[in-house]
Each structure stands twice: as structure tokens, then as C-alpha cells.
A and B are shown apart, each in its own frame.
Chain A
Amino acid sequence: LAKTTQPISMDSYEGQEVNITCSHNNIATNDYITWYQQFPSQGPRFIIQGYKTKVTNEVASLFIPADRKSSTLSLPRVSLSDTAVYYCLVGEGGYSTLTFGKGTMLLVSP
């Protein structure tokens, strides 16, 4: 299982773009990169998943360089409600059990 490293915490202000980078040097060929969001006292919520290059949905973008040893979750124009913990997971996606790390606590201030 590829180990992931992401910042423990990040601060931002409303309206800013936030980029959270995750390192996964030992990513395997079959592994996907998946990001989840968790609000206090709630279950994790799927945000986005990618294998390579760039993926975009209505919530976020995921940038993955060619070597796939890192990935960056980009949240455009954050609001106070984006304050949450963001988890980077590397593996077979939800086909297998999900292994969560400590995540990145994002605090968005007015």
C-alpha cells in the first residue's frame, strides 16, 4: 500500500484558491488517487479521483504529474463551508478497503 504524505493543516481566506499537495512516491501502476473530505462528526465524502494528468468536476480539480509521485487537489474560491479535513488516498479506489491517513485540516477564514 502506497504511503501518502500531506500537510497536517492549511489556512486560507474566503474566495481564495487552495491547493493541497499529497506525496505518494511508492504509488503502484494500478493505483488510483482519491480525495475525500470530512466535516466534524460526519462521514467522509468522496470529492474526486484520478489516475493521471488532470481531472475536474463541479467541486474540485486534481492535478497529477507524469511520474504520479504526487498529486494536487485544487479547490477554487473556497468558502467558510469548505473548512474540513481532506484525505488523499492511494490504492484501488473504493474497490478495496479505504486506508485513511491523518489528512489535511483546512481552515477557511472570513
Chain B
Amino acid sequence: DVKVTQSSRYLVKRTGEKVFLECVQDMDHENMFWYRQDPGLGLRLIYFSYDVKMKEKGDIPEGYSVSREKKERFSLILESASTNQTSMYLCASSSLGTSGRALSYEQYFGPGTRLTVT
């Protein structure tokens, strides 16, 4: 089974603090993703990475940066946390594979980090 782990389930930080969210996957997946999920807005992609040291901006990268120094680890950094970054943060990984009869990229998610910025 694919396992994606995140460093914290719950985190409370103050405005202006630097915040690090860590994600580790154990299935040698090429692709890793950071999303945030807010009520009524669904999952929104912040950044993704398709290889070590490679990164691409998603839909809402402002206020965030990422780091991928090793294939299994993808970090999300909030340089200066703000209250509007209070959210559920979900990490995911995926790889090209076959699922039944078709080529399929299936994403596997970590348990999420619920971040509150006060």
C-alpha cells in the first residue's frame, strides 16, 4: 500500500511566523503535490513537483514556496504566515501506472495538516 505521511496533523502558528510542512511518500512516486482545502472551494493546487529539485506553480502559489531535495520528500514553506492561510493542507503523490485496463495516474493523499494561524 502507498503510504503518504505528513509531519503534523494539527498546527497552530502566529502571524508572521515561518512554517514548514513536511510530506514523505514511500512508493518512489515521481510526482508530489501540495493542496489546500477550504469549505466550498474544494482542493486547490499550491505547487507540484515532478522530480527532485523540480517544481511548478499551481493555482494559488502566492505566499508559499516548496522544496524537493529528495524524491520521497516534499516540503511546503509559508515564509510569513497570515490568517488567510488557515486551512487544511493535503500532500499527495502519484505515478504513472496501469489500473485495470487503462494507463492511469492515481493520486494518494496524506492525512492532512490542519493549520491555524492566529
- Is A bound to B? no
State the A residues within 8 Å of B (CB).
none
State the B residues within 8 Å of A (CB).
none
